[in-house]
Amino acid sequence: MTLKHLLAATIALGLHAAPGLAQDAAVDAMQEYMMFSEYEAGIIVPQQIDREVFEAALFVDTRDAGQFAEGTIPGAVNIEWREVLDRIDDIPEDRMTILFCNTGSLSAQAAFALRVAGRDNVVLLQSGLTGWQQDAAWKP
């Protein structure tokens, strides 16, 4: 085997192994987050959203643009759930950020990803927009 072939084989093996190493790191990060999070960490219920919380928090609607256009929580910004990591710089680190969708299922995935990425200020609105409409302690 020539040096050229050896180098090519080494590069090919390295490229083949890289996704596995990246996947292991992601799994390790998720496991670490899950092992050390408090039971209710990262969740807010509509009844906790009084005027003070509402005015201090940023609301992020994680639904698609069409659903967002049909109606949302006043003042919310739209970042689709699949895009939260790509747009992490649009999510402030210095104030509570409440993620929601219709019922909380898609926004839960987005909140989990952001919390694993180190955004401890991000919380999930349990029961989503529907819950906020029915049970929020304060609505403008």
Q: What is the pLDDT of residues 81-102, one digit of tens each?
A: 999 999 999 999 999 999 999 9
Please report, in angstroms and rounded to a whole number, the separation of the first and last CA atoms in the chain: 73
pLDDT exceeds 70 at position 43? yes
Q: Between the CA of residue 72 and those of 26, 54, 121, 122, what are the distances in Å?
A: 32, 14, 21, 18
Q: What values do phi and psi take at 36, rounded to 5?
A: -110, 5
pLDDT exceeds 80 at position 75? yes
Mean pLDDT across 14-19: 52
Which residues, listed in sequence order, are joined to residue 60 by a DSSP beta bridge?
77, 99
Q: What is the pLDDT of residue 42?
A: 86
